[in-house]
Structure 1
Amino acid sequence: MKIGLYFGTFNPIHIGHLIIANHMAEHSDLDQIWMVVTPHNPHKQKSTLLDDYHRLHMVHLATEDFPKLKPSDIEFKLPQPNYTVNTLAHLQEKYPQHAFALIMGEDNLNSLHKWKNYEVIVNNHDIYVYPRLHSGEMDNQFTNHPNIHKVAAPVVELSSTFIRESIKNKKNVIPMLPHKVWDYVEHNLFYTK
Structure 2
Amino acid sequence: MQPIKTAFFSGTFNPVHTGHLILANYLCEYEGFDEIWLSVSPQNPLREKLSSNNDRQRIEMLNMAVNGNSKIRTTDIEFTLPRPSYTIQTLEALRKKHPERIFTLIIGADNWLSFNRWKDYNKIIEEYPIYIYPRRGYDIDERSLPANVKLCHAPIIEISSTQIRQGISEGKNMNYFIPRPVYDYIINHGLYKNKD
TM-score band, normalised by the shorter chain?
Answer: over 0.9
Per the TM alignment, residue 42 of structure 1 is displaced from its structure 2 partner at its CA by 1.1
Q: Does 1:6 align with 2:2?
A: no
Decide whether the 8 Å contact of 2:42 with 2:50 is kept in 1: no
Percentage of identical aligned residues = 39
TM-score under structure 2 normalisation? 0.92
Per the TM alignment, residue 54 of structure 1 is displaced from its structure 2 partner at its CA by 0.9
Q: Alpha-carbon deviations, 1:69-121, whole Å to 9, x = none?
A: 00111000101112000111111111111111111111111111111100110
Q: Does 1:164 align with 2:155?
A: no
Runs of 4+ in 1 over 2 A off after TM superposition: 47-50
Q: Does 1:184 align with 2:177?
A: no
- The counterpart of 1:51, out of the listed 48, 54, 62, is 54
C-alpha distance in structure 2 between counterparts of 1:179 and 1:27, whole Å: 25
TM-score under structure 1 normalisation? 0.94
Q: Which residue of 2 aligns with 1:155?
A: 156
1:1-193 → structure 2 map (5 Å cutoff): 1-47=4-50, 51-138=54-141, 143-193=144-194
C-alpha distance in structure 2 between counterparts of 1:125 and 1:160, whole Å: 28
Decide whether the 8 Å contact of 2:5 with 2:103 is kept in 1: yes
C-alpha distance in structure 1 between counterparts of 2:182 and 2:90, whole Å: 27
Decide whether the 8 Å contact of 1:112 with 1:118 is kept in 2: yes
C-alpha distance in structure 2 between counterparts of 1:69 and 1:12, whole Å: 17
Report the CA distance shift for 1:154/1:49 in structure 2 as closer, same or farther (over 3 A): farther
User: Given residue 98 of structure 2, which amino acid in structure 1 is its aligned partner?
Assistant: Y
C-alpha distance in structure 1 between counterparts of 2:120 and 2:159, whole Å: 30
User: Given residue 170 of structure 1, which amino acid in structure 2 is its aligned partner?
Assistant: G
C-alpha distance in structure 1 between counterparts of 2:110 and 2:28, whole Å: 21
C-alpha distance in structure 1 between counterparts of 2:51 and 2:81, whole Å: 21
Per the TM alignment, residue 143 of structure 1 is displaced from its structure 2 partner at its CA by 2.0
Matched residue of 2:176: which SS? helix
Structure 1 residue runs of 5 or longer lacking an equivalent are: none
User: Given residue 88 of structure 2, which amino acid in structure 1 is its aligned partner?
Assistant: V
Q: Alpha-carbon deviations, 1:22-54, whole Å to 9, x = none?
A: 100111121100001111111221247862111
Structure 2 residue runs of 5 or longer lacking an equivalent are: none
Matched residue of 1:5: which SS? strand
Report the CA distance shift for 1:50/1:166 in structure 2 as closer, same or farther (over 3 A): farther
**Alignment size in residue pairs:** 191
User: Given residue 66 of structure 1, which amino acid in structure 2 is its aligned partner?
Assistant: N
